[in-house]
Structure 1
Amino acid sequence: MAHIDFNSDLGESFGLYSVGSDAEILPHITSANIACGFHAGDAPTMRKTVARAKALGVEVGAHPGLPDLQGFGRREMKLSPDEAYEFVVYQIGALLGFTSAAGISLNHVKPHGALYNMAAVDATLADAICQAVKDVDASLVLFGLANSELTRAGEALGLKVAHEVFADRSYQADGTLTRRGTPGAMIDDPVIATEQILTMLSEGKVRSQRGTWVPVRPDTVCIHGDQPGAPAFAKAIRQALEKEGVTVKAPLLNHA
């Protein structure tokens, strides 16, 4: 139970629309996954979020999603491996411009929403995403669902991989996340969330909604920045982990 990274999906405001509480969440996390304009986010938001993360010493990663602003990238789309590759390269490049301008390194890439969940079970899609990451910068860390097709593909290509677990989501017996909209998909009690994380850290497993145990590898734990009460949720979890002696720090820094 030595250490774990604490990440959140941020930078998801767009134009006149404000999503999440990034400024209040950033002090409690160690890695920020910043939307790159396809599912959410825009140029001013990317620039502002990168600057805030830099000021707090939070590692910055690209959070590429499907081109679906209206559905927030959470609706599945049928796409070819070439399309997946191109979408990911394009979005990493967008954020890479802002990290370069800010004088910091881009640390990692974590697919968003439906793209993330599809790649967790689709080996062909996972391969395309990981090849895109490698071709942009082979030193980037890939964040993917623990023990999924996405992490397998990243490891097969020689990428640095952080297996991701979730504080605010429940699991199914096959290790996938419970679909949003399903009763019990989201965990909004920080006590329950912390217990779930500590069990994953100490025992390498998580209890599914069916009551079965699913093996996981907890390198980094996520909370969603757009859920109600996210700042307080993040603070409570960070404090609880540190109280239990868990060191919260970013993993596998690509510039280390």
Structure 2
Amino acid sequence: MNKSIIQTLFIITFLIIIGCSEIEIKSNWTENKILIDGNRNDWQNNIEYSKEEKVGIGISNDNEYLYLCLATVDNNKIMKILNNGFTVWFDPQDSDGKTIGIQYPIKKIPLNNKVEEFRKRNNQENNNENNNENTRLDKFLIDQNELLIVNEDNFPLNAYPLVNSANIEVKIDFDLNQLVYELKIPIKNKSENNFLVDVLPGENIKIGFASGEFEKPDFTGRPNIDNENPSGRSGLGGKGRMGNAEHNQRNFADRKEKLEFWINAVLSK
């Protein structure tokens, strides 16, 4: 075989391996209580940043619970989480435990118009960006008063209020211009049978992060404005509009792409 062909195949294989690689994270043992409040203070330096995914991820555990923190300033990811719903998947690797997902926020009715309404209200109430984000999020989460446990087929198994007997805690908030998602979930304990994730300290687990599917907004009755129309088209002519059109088309394509990535984690013991 031609030497140049062999070199080309080697490079392609290497790039495929790199492209398919997953994020590797070692869980930290929880010495102090982690408060699930949408704030990063309890995580200190235990957040690892992924440049590829534009998120910071922290994992911690003790003998009873797994704690998770995800933080991002990426607006596309924030909007996908809030608009399309968000599921964290747990896939135990060292047991026969089933894959389960914790779904929160839950995608209920199409939220595009609701989020747009929040944005308009907040622009009138307060021009401060941080206050706008927090106020809009507070209003948005009023309807998000429960979480779902789903199986690997995304079929709901149970629905719980946010304060529940299953000892699952979840919270989303803004902290230093970042969207912060925190989760606490029971893991397998040798002395207890009340667990949701079949993994012990010291074992391996894959954790996935996924948004729901994008639904095209209903623009019926709304003015045809460049920064709101997903096609980027406007009734106004002029060459200056072309750049806006291309930019908006790219943004719309990014919004349609589903958020999904996985990490490999080893729990501490």
TM-score, normalisation: structure 2 = 0.24
**Larger Rg: 1 or 2?**
2
Question: Which structure is higher in strand share?
Answer: 2
